Amino acid sequence: MIKINIASVLVDDQAKAEAFYVDVLGFVKKHDVPAGGARWLTVANADGSGVELLLEPMGYDFARTYQKALCDKGIPITSLGCDDIRAECRPGSRNRIRLIYNGLWEEQVRSYELFLQPDGTAGLNIGVLADQGDLSSLLISSGSDVTNPWRMRRGQRLLDAGQTADLMASLQASAAFGPPHDGLRLPDNDFWWTVASCRNGVWGFQAYHYPTDGFANARFAKRLYTLDNVPVAINKPRKLEPAEFRRGFDSHSARRGRGDRWMLVVGKDGLRPR
């Protein structure tokens, strides 16, 4: 049976890419062989299994043009997945924080994955889904256009020690590591944040629902927005009727003819099973 052995991602600096994928994301270096003026440099899952990812240098102008065109359109060429933070949270596991901003599900969802490093720096992965519920103006010229509304636009940042400390201080001041309000409801057609964290083997969870005082005191939001390099405007909270009265038919979603699809409920230390 034929299997995929190696996939590649274009990078403009192999040394910086190695530091990010190995030191920040936790992959292991599989191969590192000199190749002319560059390196045959691959990384793999932490246990060395699975497909290798080649950190391929952009040695040609057309490669830079290709990468820029993808970035300008917000089209990811490689997708990385991760395990459930809570299931993996134990002494000795990686320190990481996952923040989700629901800016009305049909309009925008933003995710932030923060990987904390022993030296005080951090890696930040950013993902944005925008207008995935609005199909009224969808133009289809190729098969891939069908899934465009559900493609996550991505960005990455390496935070220095000062930026990391500022962000962590704002999270601490926002009580982002728990405990959450047991019974808090988070409907898909409202604005809210969730924060899941694993720090030094300790699990934490918090949720903020607009327009409560808790949401107003989520001081980390502004700091994250300044670090967010995905070229999609933030869908900031606006005054709406209560979700139970709207059922998704605010001024935006009324034109789409869509209603609520789901509701998350917060428990004592995380989301309750649905």
Neighbour-count burial for 230-259, b at 16+ CB within 10 Å, e otherwise: bebeebebeebeebeebebbbebbeebebe
Question: How do beta strands 6-11 and 202-209 pair?
Answer: unpaired
Neighbour-count burial for 59-74, b at 16+ CB within 10 Å, e otherwise: eeeeeeeebeeebeeb
CB 42 within 8 A of CB 6: yes
Evaluate if residue 88 carries a pLDDT over 90: no
pLDDT band per the 50, 70, 90 thresholds, residue 262:
confident
- Mean pLDDT taken over the chain: 82
Evaluate if residue 47 carries a pLDDT over 70: yes
- Which pTM does this prediction carry? 0.68
CA distance 195 to 101: 9
Q: Which residues pair with 35 in a beta bridge?
A: 38
Quote the pLDDT of residue 76: 64
pLDDT band per the 50, 70, 90 thresholds, residue 81:
low
Q: Please say whether the structural domain 6-73 has been given the CATH code 3.40.630.10.
A: no
The Cα-based distances of 170 to 90, 120, 192 in angstroms read 24, 15, 17
Quote the pLDDT of residue 257: 41
Quote the pLDDT of residue 24: 65
Quote the pLDDT of residue 146: 38
User: How many Å separate Cα 21 from the centre of its chain?
Assistant: 16
Share of the chain above pLDDT 90, in %: 43
Evaluate if residue 145 carries a pLDDT over 50: no
pLDDT band per the 50, 70, 90 thresholds, residue 139:
very low
Evaluate if residue 141 carries a pLDDT over 50: no
Domain spans of the chain, in order of start: 6-73, 85-265
Per this entry, what is the length of the chain?
274
Evaluate if residue 101 carries a pLDDT over 70: yes
3-state secondary structure of 219: coil
Quote the pLDDT of residue 150: 55
